[in-house]
Amino acid sequence: MKKDSQPANSSPRQGENYLEVLKQCNDLLLEQKRRLEEDLEKQRKLCTLLKLKVRELADANRAFGAERKIQATEIARLTAQVQKGHEKIFNTAFTAGSITRQVMELLNSRSFVWTNFLRYTDRTLLNFSIQGKVNFFRKVSSRILRNKRMQLPSALQGIDRELQLLNAALSELCHEVNLDGSGCQVPATVAPPIPEIPIAPPFEAVTQWKHIFTPGRGEAPSRTVAIATLLFYDADGRNYMHGGAERYLIELFGIIQSMGFETVVVQAGNSDWTLTHHCEYGELPVTALHSELLFNSFSEAVNRWQNENPCALMIYSPFLIASLYSAPNSLGISHGIFWDDPHYRVTQETVIFHQKAIRQAIANCHELISVDTNTVNWYRTMCHDAEVKMNCIPNFVNRREFHPLQNAEKRRKLRIVYPRRLYAARGFNLVLEVFPELFRKYQDIELELIGQIDDNARKQLKDFLGKFHGRVKHRCCPPEEMPEVYRRADIVLVPTCYSEGTSLSCLEAMASGCAVIATNVGGLPELIINRFNGLLIAPEAEALAEALTQLIEQPELRQDIAENALKTSECYDFARWRDEWRKVLERKLGKSRERRIEFVQLAAPGMTWNAMKQRPQQLFQALAQMGFESTYISDEPMVNQSLLGDIPPQLHIQPNGFIPNLNGKYLYLYFPNIIYHRNFTYGELIRNSDCKIIFDILDDPSIHTNPETGKADPVFMNNFEMLLKNADFVITSARQLYEKYSGIRPDMKLVFNGVTLEDFRLQTIPERPADLPDDGRKIIGYYGALAQWVDFDLIEQAAKTLPELHFVLIGLNVNEEEISRVTALENVHFLGLKHYNQLAGYLRYFDVATIPFKINPVTDAASPIKLFEYCASGTPVVTTGFAEVMQYREQGVMVAENRDDYIAKLKQAAGLKDEDLEKLRKKLEALAESNTWAIRASIIADMVREKQDNTEETEDVR
């Protein structure tokens, strides 16, 4: 809900006088200045004496050794005094800075403008130099005056002047501590921690802030989380990076979305551009900022962007993006220590420079999440005086996707997989060094390199592939293909040399039952216990060669560590990672703003959960995956939980005798000719239940016409019209239905059907179903209800015209006479109804998938789910020309203009050459990716949230 509100500390605490406290602050600052002047005078005298002693020592170089020793001891004593004086001056200066900050806090208690100004400066103000504070105050002061928002308080103007004097004094000190022209200098001291002076009301961080001081802007988005990362796509926005860090952010997006917040990824680019990334959790906006691919340059660009686009939370991935600036409410992610990279250790000066930037970035983040304890321990050692909250959340593995191959066939060759980017940091050079000798020694091994190639390694890879042609393969795999890569591997190499956390590749290999060789770099020792669940080695070629030799020659050791690795992976399950991150986000954002949203689907005739997984089941599963509690009542007396498969914990499948409590729930209805629990009509349900009704129009009402009377069922039509007019939400799956009923319900939403990609992009090749014809002829396949809208005449004509092809029909037999007629043909086969989980296995062996619907009002209003499932599998699709498929003609779907054209397109699709088939598959898969059930469910979730927000605003006005 969006409304103006005063912060929690919008008035001074009881008993305090605002002006008196402000005067105390100013007096204290003047006292600090007086102390500073005294300390500076003492420091000048010490420096003068120290210079004199240095000269005396130079004169004593010709004197006896004992005299030189006395002189040197005296100089050491004076140097220590100068250092103490230096520290005292820093203490004084930082105390002044602290007082200044608390003056700002006091001003915060008097004005919402200063509330938001302080949110800008709360962290960054402390990182400015004294002169930086002065310049910052002056700039903000002029901005406020220029925009006539409020007059700068005189007390702050006085502080401005005092800080200028303070800065001048410190500048003078900088000249004083340089001893003489020889370059001898007092050792630098570390600034002490800023003291706390409890003289003003404490600043209470407001994470759900609504306004920020940016002239000319209105309210900031209240539900937006920005994730800043250097590259999510390449700098031109053409190619998704397909890395572990990108997968991490996708899963983070899923959690944020389930909490009711919007997400945007901000990255560096060669120009400003935007795009939408489609993933299993919906559509993720990506915004590129014109910036060099350097952390400092990108940090400045992100700072400018977030000033103009305030967010509830800014996540820096990695945290180094916050090296110069940070948002008012921010969180950094460390994917592991990366400053062990030789680039960061060229000279001692570069080490100091980069570690200073790293410590500064950590200090700028309000909280840091690390994927390993290696980073946490470094932080504790090097940044012991910092106040940043740090948590360790190890990386994860989705064990639903990554698991061992069942009933694996024994291979003649041992397959070794390197599933990393091909460059030095990931140990690619070690692989190149050790394998020539291993290939000479062992003839029964093969190497597969899976990953993007670094430009500097292209020639090395080309030479390597050429020298060992047939024994080494290289390819890049999208994330959905990686489970199959691991399942077919015996040994997986994670030979990182530097820049590593708790590697996703390592965890995925362990969960897939592979024997892993990893180096003792970064967070890898937290995953691998040497000789228990893997081999842990030094990042050296000799050690890698020795470890590989052990695993090649000792199959028992290989099997033992693979089994233990599989058990270890259970500790890194995705559900644990998700729950830990959700706790962090709830702490940063507060619990989800929205009221609890729960969805309920009442039992409909014949609609069991498992038999035919249609739109209602798919939507409820997608809503549950987004984090919404969802109850689906299946039309069966008992639900066999063992047959449900792997469903989200938020999804509850209940038998048809289950009576839910609907109060406060969102009730999903789509079949309006049943009576609610046989006790209440829809009218009574609408009048008496404290629930919100979502009415989903799936088909044209004419589908329910009685063939004998030629009229629709009157009960059905009465309920249909009542729900259309009175339901809280109305959605539909087809454009024709939207155009037909949106005049009655202007708030109606168009929610097309979709696909669950992972159900139809098989990671393993299934066995050919025994009931499929197998005589070498290609197969034209259809699955779905074999009802009155299927054109059996067209199927018969096509089968007779194309005897060289088989026609396979799968589905519910509701038209036995027609099916008997067409299956009388030798090349037409009816295989009956198949379970949803079996469909992808049949579809895998279809050469062409088809939708041979008649053209009539019922089919024109149909959005066939099977269309997107066909596309997800990459199978060529040929359909008749009903209205809903016409929009997909340019995206690879072959839509026939008439009966002859349908037969011609079947023949064309069955005869596609491999090159043309591959191009078509890519188009079809892209179509499926933009039409997932997650995208459809997010439309419903946003619709509900929007209504909820509007209701809250109305209640607040009242």
- Tell me whether domains 598-749 and 757-931 share a fold: yes
- Identify the pLDDT of residue 217: 31
Predicted TM-score (pTM) of this structure: 0.52
- How far apart CA 98 and CA 94 sit, in angstroms, is 6
The sign one gets for the Cα dihedral 355, 361, 363, 369 is negative
598-749 CATH pick, 3.30.360.10, 3.40.50.2000, 3.30.565.10, 3.30.1360.40: 3.40.50.2000
Please answer whether residues 211 and 81 qualify as being in contact, where contact means their C-beta atoms are separated by less than 8 angstroms: no
Question: Which architecture characterizes domain 414-572 according to CATH?
Answer: 3-Layer(aba) Sandwich (3.40)
* 820-824, Cβ contacts within 8 angstroms, sequence gap of 24 or more: 821/792, 821/796, 822/792, 822/795, 822/796
Q: Is the pLDDT of residue 372 over 50?
A: yes
Distances (CA, A) of 216 to 6, 219, 222: 20, 10, 18
Q: 472 and 465 in contact (C-beta within 8 Å)?
A: yes
Residues 6+ apart with CB under 8 A from 750: 731, 732, 735, 738
SS3 per residue for 406-458:
CCCCCCCCEEEEECCCECHHHCHHHHHHHHHHHHHHCCCEEEEEECCECHHHH
Q: Please provide residue 227's backbone torsions phi and psi, each rounded to the nearest 5 degrees.
A: -115, 115
Which residue, 906, 893, 799, 783, is CA-closest to 841? 783
For residue 107, how many other CB atoms are within 10 A of its CB? 22
% the chain with pLDDT above 70: 71
Structure confidence at residue 681 (pLDDT): 56
pLDDT at 160 over 80: no
At 121-147, the pLDDT tens digits run 433 444 444 444 445 554 544 444 443
Q: Is the pLDDT of residue 409 over 90?
A: no
Three-class HEC string of 849-888:
EEECECCCHHHHCCCCHHHHHHHHHCCCEEECCCHHHHHH
Distances (CA, A) of 652 to 280, 599, 623, 669: 21, 10, 12, 17
Round to whole Å and give the CA distance between 240 and 229: 13
8 A C-beta contact, residue 656 and residue 677? no
3-class secondary-structure state, position 748: coil
Of the pLDDT bands very low, low, confident and very high (cuts 50, 70, 90), residue 560 is very high
Q: Comparing 126 with 721, which gets the higher pLDDT? A: 721
d(CA 945, CA 35): 58
Domains of the chain, residue spans = 31-59+71-101, 224-392, 414-572, 598-749, 757-931
Q: What angle do CA 359, 361, 362 make, to 5 degrees?
A: 65
Residue 178's alpha-carbon distances to 131, 171, 192, 359, in angstroms, are: 21, 12, 21, 27
Q: Which of 297-301, 690-694, 791-795 has the lowest mean pLDDT?
A: 690-694
Q: What is the DSSP letter of 178?
A: B
**Where does the pLDDT of residue 164 fall: very low under 50, low under 70, confident under 90, or very high at 90 and above?**
very low
CA dist 155 and 545 (Å) reads 71
| CA dist 883 → 511, 735, 737, 750 (Å) | 46, 9, 11, 15
Phi-psi sector, 667: left (phi>0), alpha (psi -120 to 50), beta: beta
Taking residues 593-598, report their average pLDDT: 58
CATH architecture type of domain 224-392:
3-Layer(aba) Sandwich (3.40)
Give me the mean pLDDT over the 762-785 stretch. 89
DSSP sequence for 782-825: EES-B-TTB-HHHHHHHHHH-TTEEEEEES-BS-HHHHHHHHTS
Strands (DSSP E) contained in 196-303 are 224-228, 262-269, 273-279, 282-290
Residue 539, pLDDT above cutoff 60 = yes
Rounded mean pLDDT, 442-447: 94
Indicate the average pLDDT of the chain.
77
List 314's β-bridge partners, or say none.
226, 330
**pLDDT value at position 91?**
57
Angle at alpha carbon of residue 849, lines to 846 and 853, rounded to 5°: 145
Higher pLDDT, 866 or 261: 866
> Contact 817/789 with Cβ under 8 angstroms?
no
Which parts of 442-554 fold into alpha helices (H)? 458-467, 482-487, 504-511, 541-553
Distance CA 549, CA 666 (A): 61
Does the structural domain 757-931 have CATH classification 3.30.530.20? no
